[in-house]
Each structure stands twice: as C-alpha cells, then as structure tokens.
Chain A
C-alpha cells in the first residue's frame, strides 16, 4: 500500500510528522527515505541545505548560522527529536515560536484596518485620562470613542460619534480632531482621515502627536490597498499600484521612524514599510528591510524566526532575483531554489530556468567572508545539476571529525559523504561514522543514521544495522529495512532480540506474514510459538510502523471467518507444508488473506529503487497474489469441482465492483473474466458459487 498525503494542503506542502510513531502513519506525508533530494516535495527537508528543502527551512537554518548558534527546540516544543526528513511545519513546531493568539475576532495575519480598533480605543482612553481635560470633556471623548464600532467588511460610514460641542478646550479639541480622523480612517474615507491627522502636527500632547504621525502614514498605506484586491480576495497585479501613493506612504513611515525609532508604533511602522515595498514592487528595498531584521533579536524586530521566514517566503522570495540583492543568505536561498531538478517522472518539467555555474560564479564577491558557504553552493551545483560528484570531493575537503557542526559545516560534509557514495569510495561508511560524534542536533544525527542504513542496505551489510552497537537507532529506518529487505533469519532474530518492543512485534508480524504468503509453511508453524499469549487480534495493521500494538494474535485466531469450510490457520499451514499444491488448503489460505484485509498489503510491495528499502528483498519466495492462486486452481484438471467453482467465483470477484483487480498478480482481460463467469455457470451450475454470482466485472 502506498502511503498517501491527500490533504488539499499537500499541494502547497505535505505535512509530515517525523516521529517514529507517525513517520509513515497511514496518511502523514510520505518521505522519500534517501539523502539526495533534488526537488521540493514538502516532505523531505533535511538538516543540510539543499534544493529539496523548503525555502523557509534553508532560510531559517542559515539565519541560525548567521547568529552563530545551532537550532534548538523551543519552549513548548514537542519532546520528540527532529528526524532525518521533516517538513516545514514540523520544523517550525519544533522551533516552537509561540504565536500570539489573543485576538478572538481576527485570525493571525488577517489583514483588516479594523483590527486595531480595540487596542486603539484603549490607548485613546488612557491618553485622554492622562491629559486631565477640563469639565466633562474627557468623559465625552471616551464615550464617543467607545461608540465607534467600525465594520471594515461593510462599505459605508459607521455610526457617528456625537460630541455636540461638549469639547471646548484646545487640548480637548485636538483629541476630538483625532477621533474624527480615526472614524474617517475606519470608514475608509482616507482623504478626510489624512487631513485630520495632518492637522495634529502641532499637538502638544505627546501621545496625540506621535499617534497622529503614525496614523497619517498608515492612511497612505491603506490608500494603496484601495481596489487592490479582486473579488476573490486575491491581490491584483501590483503594476497597477500608484507609485505616488507608495512614495507618500514610504516617506511618512520613514519620517515617523526617524523621529520615533523606538516609538510606540515602531515595529508596526517597520512592518507597514515592508508592506509598502511589497505593494510597490520595490524588491531591492524590501530585501534590505529583511536583511536589517536578520541582525536583530526576535523581540526587537517583533517577529519570531518562523513568522519572519513565512513572511519572506510569501512577500519577498517569489519575485526576488539574484540581481536584487547582495546578501549572501538571500542569494544562497535563491540559488538553492534554482538548483531544483526533476528527480523522478512525475516532477518532470518542474524546474525551468536552472541556475548556471556562471551565474553562481558571478556572485563570488557577495560571499566575501562566507567562502565556506559559497564553496558549498558551487559543490551543490556540481552535484545536483552537473551530476559530477568527483568535483564535490575537490571543492570540499574532509572535515568529518568535528566537535559540532553548524549548518554550513554540516551541509558541506554531508555533501562530501554523498559524493563519496556516488563515486563508490571504499571509505564512505567510515566517513559517516566519523561524522557521528559531532552531530549534536537530532536532525543531523538522524540524517547520518539514514546515510548509514542506506549504505549498509546497498552493501550487503544489513546485519550491521541491527548489530547491538549499531548507531542506527531510528525506528522508521530500522522498520523499513525489516519490512522490505530483511530475510527470515534476521526477522526471527529481531522478533525475539530487538530492544524496542515495537520492533519485536514488527519483525514477527513481517516474518509470519511472509512465511505464510511466500510458502515457508513449516517455519510458520515453528515461529507461531513466538506470538505472545494475549497478543492483540483486532488492532490495525495498515500502518505497521505507526501502530502501537500489531495484531499478532490474528495468526493464531483470525477475526474474520473464511467463506468456505476450513480448518484452523495453523492446520491449513501444516496441510500446505505436507502438500503445497493442495487446492483446498491454498483456497483456505487465500480466504484468510481476503477476509482479514491483506489485499494489496504493504508487505507485498517495496519502496522505489532509489529509496531505503528499495533493494531486492532477501526474503525468499515470490510475492503473494490471490488472483494467481485462483487462476492455477481453475486451470488444474485434478482440482475438486467445489474448489474450482470457488476459485472461479473468487477470481471474478477480484474485479468487483469496478473492473479493477484488487488481488495482485497479472491482470487479465475482461474477456477472460467473462470466460470464468461463463465456465462457473456452465460447468458448476448447481454450486453455491454459481448461484451466488450474478455479474462479472
């Protein structure tokens, strides 16, 4: 069974859960278990920079390097380590940047100028109270502000706040002017709002002066957005944006920030400035803004690492080109994105406009002081696009032994190891082992475990993966090898000797299923003794890696009965051991598989060749197919009539109700099915099966 990731969001990115318990959960996204990922899948991000990583992942990793620290699980992060392959959501959850979720009216990131109405009213009240206005002016102003309840979803003016000459003092009138500006602003009357806020340039009250300056600029930002979104809420072509309004908003925000660099609205004003540059298609200025944020701690910039990466990914990176910036971090992210190449049939045509080596070399000066990163990019280009691993070895010297790896160091050595594997270097395995002690990040360690498991699988070294001192500890990696490649001997060993209880179950389940389905009936009888008393019978086995308790008891006591008269499964296996060709025993076994849901079972297929578990299985015997069993019994002249009738009935039913075969084996033409149907009806007209079968498919 193929693991699917069928959520809509999978189009944007598949959401993998890299925990052993869920790594191949029946419908998490399915990682491709290998090291080289030349294209974005959304499921195969790694702790090394690469074209297959999400741009946000590459960006975030580089920002950690820029700050001189390793990524660390954040407060409130899930306790599970980050695996070898993960998706952006998992990484961002692991970094656990705690989002602000305090506003129950609006979702995070939702754009509406009415959002600030609540906080604006509170600040206004505080300022009015602090101003100690004469008489009842303060109370009147606060009441008027509270009455203002704008609805930005609806066109038209909000309920007017009636002050009716209750405010007479100059200070009070300034607040009243501000209030009128705020109402005009929320009503979308930007001309009136702009005039009101501009009139407060001479206001004595500090709050009023600063806030009016900020609001005047915000009016211009909102003016840009008038008519900018189409009926679907999608921004229209930014080429239509009025650059004069962009310039006014830009000037207003920068003037505010100049006078109030640490002002009440400084973080907001910087965010608005980025918005203005985004609307105004000023990619170079926008890039500069982000680069300035790189140096700041999250608290100062008002944006955590995750939100920063997400904002850049939607606002900057889609249109940014290497001509727009000289920042090495941004260039590296862009370069890696343009190194994506199709690495399978389905992604063919994915990646137009690949980066050329000349373009990359043209950026050399921008990487002054970042030579290791630049060399890595050139090496990655030679590896992924040039397909010349030998050149990687020349560009990146061996530095496998390190006390720890930062992002670029780790990426360099991983790529060197991959190149060693690609050229068939005899010491590739030794190289991975040398890297292990320095892999301090869980995702780094898991990546090396994958490298070792992959290497051992392809060099006849499966026993090393399962040796007591094996560094390959990841349950998914070990499970994939047991399910797909291990022979009976290794499965038997792990069924009793594995440290992890789940691995013992998985090994035994795989062993028993394969013995039954591949014809090792005598061994099945012996190994059945390994099933613990009280083993589950009715838990699911669709998700062998993720399911906590596998239904090993199913082999002792099937939950679903066969449709024909059969002895116990154990007895059926014993009959087959004595007489492998026995038609009735073969039908009984097939019915056990059918009734208990083993059709198209995951243990009857393997991952793609280039992925972990994709090499030829070491388990002896052919893959099972009910259809082939039925065909051979139907063609067996010596088979009893009852058995032949049932074989024909079941063979036809393999195609019910859609015409698609669910029984494995070699497909047959519809005419053949028609022939089976006709044979059942004509040769065994009195059999229960002939009477029961009304159609063929």
Chain B
C-alpha cells in the first residue's frame, strides 16, 4: 500500500512541473518552531501554533546529570507545546527519569498543553535499534496522553539500517529531521531528502531560520510528511557568536 502511494507520488514528480523556489533563503511559514536555550523572544514566536521548547539536557557526565536549560517554567496557555530534552547519553539513572517526569508535571501544572516530549539525540545510523529500545523504555514511563518524538538525522533514510528504522517507527509518534549542521545548511541536503521514502514513520523537516531551503520534489506528497519545524536563531550581533 505504501509502495503504491509512493509510486503515485513518483508519477506526480515525473509528469508535473514542479515549482522550485528561486529565493534560496525562503523558509516556510513559522507554523512550528524550536526555541532553544539562549534564543531570545522574537515575533515569529507569536504566530507559531506548535512550540518545541528546550527544557533540559541529559549530560554525559559521571554520574549522568539532568541540567535545566530554560530559566523559568513557560506559560503558553492553549498552544501545543513539545518539551524538548537534549540527550548526550542513553545511560539514564532512575533519577533522570524522575527529573524528566517532574519537569513535565511542572510544565503541565503551570497550565501548558504539553502534547509530547521530544528527545534530541545524535543516534548513529548503526545504532538505531538500541535507540529504539531506549525510547520504548521511556515511552512506557511517560503519561499515556503524552506523545514521544525525536529529532532525526538526515542520513537515517539513506544509511540507517532498515531494521533499526522499522524499530523506531514502532515506538515514536514523529521524527523531525534537520537539514542543517550547526548554523549551516548541510551541503547536498537534497540528496539525503531524496531517499526519505525508506523512512516509514511520520516526519517533519527541521529548517534553520534564515537558512537555505528548496522544497525537494515529492517531499510534500510523501504520505509520512507532516510539515516543517523552524529552528529559531537570534539575529546576528556581536553577542550571538556563542
């Protein structure tokens, strides 16, 4: 069935003229945004309907540490919020899970509609099955009404081991795949996007605010494509070099 859908999409690609954005710096509307630590408030925040807010970071120290990344608990009323946790290691002690759940509880207690927890981890392509196992354990601890999302690597679809990708598909609700490295768009990102048909889980494409973006033919027809998330950055100034 999925193959059939992709084939239909392929027909569309082959036969229809595909508009290519001429302005290489255009990003789609800020429907969903990431707000990282150290990024100041800006107008794009006000219109975003879905906010991915960095809350904490699980650091690969010894012992592993859960470090807060946001100065105060947000109060976002009825907008959808994903509580993002940056993760450096999967070797979590029981305290880490407790701290994450306590933070989730506080965000919800403050009236935020926290729809999910997003894990931002550099899972290597050859370790996707281990990552999936970790996520399964985390999912079991989350409240039932809390979704689980992950950030993903652009090369998963190209280089990820298929069993690992299938395992991920069974455990997370969405993956957001980033097309940039640091502050820079990855050269040749379109070649990676081209192989997204191997990915069988709902995904969004993560864009860098102000970064290059050309929609890849067929992307928006992909049955698993759910939209974009824009990573907000501070306007350039002498103090934003960190």
Contact = CB atoms under 8 A, between A and B. Distances in A.
A101 B93 contact: yes
A689 to B, nearest CB: 17
A27 B124 contact: yes
B126 A540 contact: yes
B155 A26 contact: yes
A8 B154 CA distance: 12
B37 A12 contact: yes
Interface string A438-458: 000000000000000000000
B190 A658 contact: yes
Contacts of A349: 236
Interface in A103-140: 103-112
Given A7-B151, A229-B72, A600-B191, A318 B65 contact: no
A97 B62 CA distance: 8
Interface size class of B (residues with CB under 8 A): 35 or more
Contacts of B182: 5, 10-11, 14, 29, 41-42
A72 to B, nearest CB: 16
Interface residues of A, number: 83
Interface in A75-99: 76-77, 89, 92-93, 96-99
A600 B238 CA distance: 38
B187 interface: yes
Which residue, B86, B109, B183, has most C-beta atoms of chain A within 10 A?
Answer: B183
A346 interface: yes
Interface in B188-215: 188, 190-191, 193-195, 197, 206, 208
Contacts of A107: 56, 65-68, 99, 103
B124 A25 contact: yes
B120 A96 contact: no
A240 B15 CA distance: 59
Interface in B140-175: 151, 153-155, 159, 161
A290 interface: no
A92 B194 CA distance: 38
A29 B181 CA distance: 9
Nearest to B100: A107
Interface in A606-642: none
B151 to A, nearest CB: 6
Name A's interface SS. Answer: loop
Nearest to A696: B14
A502 interface: no
A107 B94 CA distance: 13
B220 interface: no
Nearest to A232: B74
B224 to A, nearest CB: 14
A233 B106 contact: no
B155 A8 contact: no
A154 B99 contact: no
B10 A231 contact: no
Nearest to B187: A2
Contact of B154 (A4, A225, A543): A4
A353 B238 contact: yes
A78 to B, nearest CB: 9
A467 interface: no
Interface string A643-671: 00000000000001111101000000000
Contact of B216 (A14, A29, A232, A658): A658
B181 A5 contact: yes
Given A26-B124, A110-B103, A658-B217, A6 B194 contact: no
Contacts of A660: 190-191, 194, 216
A659 B53 contact: no
B13 A657 contact: yes
Nearest to A351: B241
Contacts of A352: 236-238
A8 B77 CA distance: 25
B121 interface: yes
B13 A93 contact: no
A5 B122 contact: yes
Nearest to A229: B72
A110 B241 contact: no
Interface string A1-24: 110111111111011000000000
A352 B208 CA distance: 21
A29 B14 CA distance: 37
Contacts of A105: 98-99, 102
A247 to B, nearest CB: 22
Given A55-B242, A233-B74, A11 B183 contact: yes
Contacts of B10: 656-657, 695, 697
Nearest to B34: A8
B242 A12 contact: yes
Contacts of B120: 7-9
Contacts of B99: 103-107
A423 interface: no
Contacts of B60: 89, 93
Given A105-B98, A337-B241, A658-B190, A232 B124 contact: no
A275 to B, nearest CB: 11
Nearest to B89: A93
Contact of A346 (B66, B75, B184, B218): B184
Contacts of B32: none
A110 to B, nearest CB: 4
B210 to A, nearest CB: 11
A426 B51 CA distance: 58
A529 interface: no
Contact of A15 (B122, B195, B233): B122
B138 interface: no
Nearest to B75: A231
A422 interface: no
A533 interface: no
B6 interface: yes
Given A231-B76, A313-B242, 13 more contacts: A6-B122, A6-B181, A8-B36, A9-B120, A93-B62, A99-B59, A104-B94, A153-B109, A347-B184, A351-B241, A657-B194, A695-B13, A697-B13
17 contacts: A5-B122, A7-B178, A8-B36, A9-B36, A25-B124, A29-B182, A107-B65, A153-B109, A232-B45, A232-B70, A233-B70, A338-B238, A352-B236, A657-B6, A658-B216, A660-B191, A660-B216
Which 3 pairs of residues, A with B, have the shortest CB-CB distance?
A658-B194, A110-B68, A229-B72
